[in-house]
Chain A
Amino acid sequence: MYDFEFVKVGSLAEAVAALKAEGAQALGGGQTLIPTLKQRLAQPAKLVSLTGIAELVGVSASDGVLSVGGATTHAQVAREATAYPALAELASHIGDPAVRNRGTIGGSLANDDPAADYPAGVLGSGATVVTNAREIAADDFFRGLFETALEEGEIITAVRFPIPQKASYQRFAQPASRFALTGVFVAQYADGVRVAVTGASENGVFRWSDAEAALSSSFAPEAVDGLSVSPDGLIGDLHGTPEYRAHLVKVLTRRAVAAAG
């Protein structure tokens, strides 16, 4: 690990100011950044810890919307997002207990790992990512591998999830890392069904629009039987070919629909 300056701020305003420094980088739970630093693959001049900002932590629900503060840990979401059980369930399977007690939703979304779970929940819910500067619709937020709509120094303060009628997240674990080899989030709303897929695409999380259309007319596992996912653009690596991932998308979508009831 290279030397860096470390500051832990107590308010959003202080964080925004601190991040203006040259080479400064926000630090959430550090579950990706700290291992990266340990391998000396990143050399930030300054890390600004967001975990001490009380206004960024918490889970609340009202008017059919679940709000999660940007620095809320996965463990807290798993415990407290009772108004949105599928999201609580998703959070409860991220990493291991140590990861869930440190990792935050804002950190996960800002990092946008193509195999992370939260992007599927956020895109599959059509959630809104709230920052210190603006509100970003999930459909506009994810821009590819480790790329988001966030500007330099912009901080995720909250994520607002419209609570669906039914939803489920089904993930198939990569055997080594236990990240999602493929994960599918299905959510049924009054105005239609959303299906978001993580882990599978070279461009990060995406919506499977054919399945959304089919499930919007019939919310049953069989509704996707006639569909197929093209392996073009899907990830091929040690753990699975693009064809395998394409197959898993369909299997997991069926399972998510069945589990959502």
Chain B
Amino acid sequence: MAKDSGIGAASKRREDVRFLSGSGKYTDDINLAGQAYACFLRSSVAHGRINAIDTAAATAMPGVVAILTAKDFEGAGGLPCGWCVTGKDGPMKEPKHPILAEGKVRHVGDPIAMVIADTKEQAQAAADAISVDIEELPAVIDMKAAIAGGPLVHEDIGTNLCYDWNFGSDKAETDAAFETAHHVTRLELTNNRLVPNAMEPRVAIGAYDRSTGEHTLYTTSQNPHVIRLLMGAFVLQIPEHKLRVVAPDVGGGFGSKIFHYAEEAACTLAAKLVNRPVKWTAERSESFVTDAHGRDHVSTIELALDAEGHFLALRTDTLANMGAYLSTFAPSVPTYLHGTLMAGNYATPLINVNVRAVFTNTVPVDAYRGAGRPEATFQLERVIDMAAREMGIDPVEIRRRNFIKPDQFPYQTPVALAYDTGNYHATMDKLVEIADIAGFAARKAESAARGKLRGLGIACYIEACGIAPSAVAGALGARAGLYESATVRVNATGSVTVLTGSHSHGQGHETTFPQVVAEMLGIDEGQVEVVHGDTGRIPFGMGTYGSRSIAVGGAALVRATEKIINKARKIAAHLMEAAEGDVEFANGTFSVKGTDKSVGWGDVCLTAYVPHNFPHETLEPGLEETAFYDPANFTFPAGAYAAEVEVDPDTGQVTLCSFAAADDFGNIINPMIVDGQVHGGIGQGVGQALLEHAVYDANGQLLSGSYMDYAMPRADDVPFYAVDHSCQTPCTHNPLGVKGCGEAGAIGTPPTIVNAVIDALADRGVKHIDMPLTPARVWAAMQG
């Protein structure tokens, strides 16, 4: 029988009451007394030299408080990059990323001046009145052109190549395997650039208290402590104890709200300069040209096989777009999160990965749901599908033939990762069942009778979640540790406040974290409340991204709760005059082994705060514990996905008919929330595969800069999904046995859908189409 509370229960998301009734408190809902409004004048050209900025007329306009340009931020540092990749020629090139443009603008949307006025409209009007003399320079947009002598985005580093990184098996050994292979499949492909499009645009409010010297930044962030550390220490030189960063309800991030953005630093500093709170709220059109974009890789991948279709070697060569500046974690995405994933679910003995990261006059590119893992999975699952077709092997069979076998775990890949556990055959078996693959031929015939071309696509994925092990991350270039924290504060009446370093911006932590604590303490979930998102309240933590919250933050929570139980056991032993070792704890009650003596949770908690006769030498009052958890390894969720599509041969329109996902997430805290996470990820994967594309013209103008041209998936673009997570190989190294599920759908879905479309069109000689598979592209491919 399904549980109705605690770990494994489909508890309803308690946060939805306020989100769905319009009573969530987002950053833009915060308005401070005396607040002024900021508007940023942004570059309308992709590349140019700033000869002069004349703010005189604008400064005299009604309501204008101040207009700031780069010279007002001279004492501040650039926006730091949190990851240093070391390539073949040493550390990456790391050009300065100023808060406001210094001397040059490098992408459309680059901020030139900050106008602060009494109202938003006055700020906008004054921004329009600023006169900027910009000498437009030739822009470099295409990555190949950028590294082949194109205009330099940053003259001071003398190159557009950020790094050239080679990783994995020995290159010569890998190349040799290709020389003698029975079959080699080669594919060039593009992983399309995406705009993250969180429902809530970014907002920043800076405030300064002259009496205490304390700064406060309210911001739309997935990781307020990271922002406090980066902005305080590297940009504004504000001591951490004088800087509080608050990220209240956040309406979606998908990675784009991990990073430290210029507007945060500008509003924080400006609040002190003008001695008023300063608020900035992004317009949607601003989000398109300032939120860090995702993906944008161009790759060549080659797979060497023997006569039976066993994988012998894999090599890939990728160009990864960094955009105009290095966003906070940009260098890690094509390397640490991409190169390490190239083994996928397969026992390929030799894998060599090369990545060149390139500067262009475009918006910076950084982590977006999946971050590097979708790019790796897309390459791998496309080339496998192509190889299967070329060799006449069934796409399910070729994967099964090459899976890492259940008895091979723990499995050391040639690309650094060591998978602790998994059973890829089991998820594939489950997929074959829930997708009714046996019935495909009949459905294809039925589609054909209606003049439609039906295709079946299969893809598998592996994910490295729980972005953590500080030691591994540090060895690969991270400038931060990647643990997580939790404080469990038991109140005198027995209710519990959890203060977590994880941040919920849609994931449902306010529901799932209490499920864990309630299960461990034997109390009602409703007695547990979660506090997150405020550096003034929570312990130092690294926030939420990379599907890490339950695997790392949840593990920290377990550790802290274990400490609580240990402390409570001491109190119970004291109350029952028993030896601590004889006290057992179950279902919220402490009892003495072999006796009928017991004491309830409530009595223990109250006594902790009313310690009238505590032996203070050995027992402190209070019941509050903190734990930091740094895991031994990543977690490795994996799964197998199937999609069926119909292509209209007259128009090229692709209809997604069905989608099935068999995932192994290890143990599950709340199956309903896991379903929701998978659904959302698949939806974004459908967007990438069929609809979404950030397109620049040769001059660096973003052609798809609004929803008139940037196609987001809508409800009628997706079918009902068949999702299953009954295959469970619990993680071996965290206390909950959990793996993480937030990005799986976004990782596994694009290749599944593309494989399905290619399957539908295979008879017409179509071998590959780059995403998004728009009707026009599919039709053009059918014309040959």
Q: Which residues of A contact B (CB under 8 A)?
A: 1-3, 39-40, 172, 175-177, 179, 181, 238-241, 244, 247-248, 251
Segment among B327-335, B529-537, B707-715, B740-748 that sits at the interface with chain A: B707-715
CA distance A175 to B692 in the complex (A): 9
B622 interface residue, CB < 8 Å from A? no
Interface string of B635-672 (1 = CB under 8 A from A): 00000000000000011110000000000000000000
Q: List 13 A-B contacts (CB under 8 A).
A: A2-B125, A3-B121, A176-B691, A176-B704, A176-B710, A177-B707, A177-B708, A177-B709, A238-B693, A241-B780, A244-B652, A244-B775, A244-B780
Interface centre among B653, B712, B775 (most CB of A within 10 A): B775
CA distance A241 to B709 in the complex (A): 15
CA distance A179 to B706 in the complex (A): 14
State whether A39 and B285 are in contact (beta carbons under 8 Å apart), knowing that A1-B121, A175-B691, A248-B651 are contacts in the complex.
yes
Q: Is the CB of B776 within 8 A of A241?
A: yes
Kindly list 20 other residue pairs between chains A and B, CB separation below 8 angstroms, not including A1-B121, A3-B121, A247-B779.
A2-B125, A39-B285, A40-B124, A172-B653, A172-B775, A175-B690, A175-B691, A176-B691, A176-B708, A176-B710, A176-B711, A177-B707, A177-B708, A181-B775, A238-B693, A238-B703, A241-B776, A241-B780, A251-B650, A251-B651
CA distance A251 to B648 in the complex (A): 11
B575 interface residue, CB < 8 Å from A? no
Chain B residues, Cβ within 8 Å of A240: 775-776
State how many angstroms separate the Cβ of A248 from the closest Cβ of chain B.
7
* Closest residue on chain A to residue B690 by CB atoms: A175
* Closest residue on chain A to residue B714 by CB atoms: A178
CA distance A251 to B650 in the complex (A): 7
- Of B121, B651, B776, the residue contacting A239 (CB under 8 A) is B776
State how many angstroms separate the Cβ of A172 from the closest Cβ of chain B.
6
Chain B residues, Cβ within 8 Å of A39: 285
Chain B residues, Cβ within 8 Å of A175: 690-691, 711, 774-775
Q: Is the CB of A244 within 8 A of B708?
A: no
Name B85-141 residues within 8 Å CB distance of A.
121, 124-125, 128
CA distance A3 to B125 in the complex (A): 11
CA distance A238 to B708 in the complex (A): 11
Interface centre among A1, A176, A251 (most CB of B within 10 A): A176
CA distance A248 to B775 in the complex (A): 11
* Closest residue on chain A to residue B648 by CB atoms: A251
Chain A residues, Cβ within 8 Å of B712: 176
Chain A residues, Cβ within 8 Å of B710: 176
State how many angstroms separate the Cβ of B225 from the closest Cβ of chain A.
36
B576 interface residue, CB < 8 Å from A? no
CA distance A40 to B712 in the complex (A): 24
* Closest residue on chain A to residue B713 by CB atoms: A175
Interface centre among A2, A175, A240 (most CB of B within 10 A): A175
- Of B690, B709, B780, the residue contacting A238 (CB under 8 A) is B709
CA distance A49 to B143 in the complex (A): 50
Chain B residues, Cβ within 8 Å of A176: 691, 704, 707-712
Chain A residues, Cβ within 8 Å of B691: 175-176
Chain A residues, Cβ within 8 Å of B650: 251
Chief secondary structure at chain B's binding surface:
loop
Name the 3 nearest CB pairs between A and B, nearest first.
A176-B711, A175-B711, A240-B776
State how many angstroms separate the Cβ of B478 from the closest Cβ of chain A.
37
Q: Is the CB of A238 within 8 A of B704?
A: yes
CA distance A201 to B128 in the complex (A): 34
Name B134-180 residues within 8 Å CB distance of A.
none
Interface centre among B653, B708, B776 (most CB of A within 10 A): B776
CA distance A248 to B690 in the complex (A): 19
State whether A244 and B776 are in contact (beta carbons under 8 Å apart), knowing that A175-B691, A238-B704, A251-B651 are contacts in the complex.
yes
CA distance A3 to B63 in the complex (A): 15
State how many angstroms separate the Cβ of B698 from the closest Cβ of chain A.
14
Chain B residues, Cβ within 8 Å of A238: 693, 695, 703-704, 709
State how many angstroms separate the Cβ of A198 from the closest Cβ of chain B.
16
CA distance A177 to B651 in the complex (A): 18
CA distance A1 to B775 in the complex (A): 36
CA distance A208 to B424 in the complex (A): 57
* Closest residue on chain B to residue A248 by CB atoms: B651
State how many angstroms separate the Cβ of A245 from the closest Cβ of chain B.
9
State how many angstroms separate the Cβ of A257 from the closest Cβ of chain B.
14
Q: Is the CB of A244 within 8 A of B709?
A: no
CA distance A244 to B650 in the complex (A): 10
Q: Is the CB of B779 within 8 A of A244?
A: yes
Interface string of B696-731 (1 = CB under 8 A from A): 000000011001111110000000000000000000
CA distance A247 to B693 in the complex (A): 23
CA distance A4 to B335 in the complex (A): 53
CA distance A3 to B124 in the complex (A): 12
State how many angstroms separate the Cβ of B74 from the closest Cβ of chain A.
31
CA distance A175 to B712 in the complex (A): 8
Chain A residues, Cβ within 8 Å of B775: 172, 175, 181, 240, 244
Q: Is the CB of B709 within 8 A of A172?
A: no
* Closest residue on chain B to residue A250 by CB atoms: B650
CA distance A152 to B700 in the complex (A): 37
CA distance A247 to B652 in the complex (A): 11
Chain B residues, Cβ within 8 Å of A241: 776, 780
CA distance A251 to B124 in the complex (A): 47
CA distance A100 to B709 in the complex (A): 21
State how many angstroms separate the Cβ of B782 from the closest Cβ of chain A.
11
Chain A residues, Cβ within 8 Å of B651: 172, 248, 251
CA distance A40 to B121 in the complex (A): 11
CA distance A3 to B62 in the complex (A): 14
* Closest residue on chain A to residue B691 by CB atoms: A175
CA distance A181 to B693 in the complex (A): 17
* Closest residue on chain A to residue B652 by CB atoms: A244
* Closest residue on chain B to residue A252 by CB atoms: B651
CA distance A181 to B652 in the complex (A): 13
CA distance A238 to B651 in the complex (A): 16
CA distance A177 to B705 in the complex (A): 12
State how many angstroms separate the Cβ of A125 from the closest Cβ of chain B.
25
CA distance A142 to B6 in the complex (A): 66
State how many angstroms separate the Cβ of A79 from the closest Cβ of chain B.
22
* Closest residue on chain B to residue A2 by CB atoms: B125
Chain B residues, Cβ within 8 Å of A251: 650-651
CA distance A239 to B690 in the complex (A): 12
CA distance A39 to B707 in the complex (A): 13
Chain A residues, Cβ within 8 Å of B774: 175, 239
* Closest residue on chain A to residue B704 by CB atoms: A238
Interface centre among A3, A172, A181, A244 (most CB of B within 10 A): A244
State how many angstroms separate the Cβ of B663 from the closest Cβ of chain A.
28
State how many angstroms separate the Cβ of A231 from the closest Cβ of chain B.
13
State how many angstroms separate the Cβ of A243 from the closest Cβ of chain B.
8
CA distance A181 to B779 in the complex (A): 14
State how many angstroms separate the Cβ of B37 from the closest Cβ of chain A.
14
Chain B residues, Cβ within 8 Å of A3: 121
Interface string of B246-285 (1 = CB under 8 A from A): 0000000000000000000000000000000000000001
State how many angstroms separate the Cβ of B712 from the closest Cβ of chain A.
8
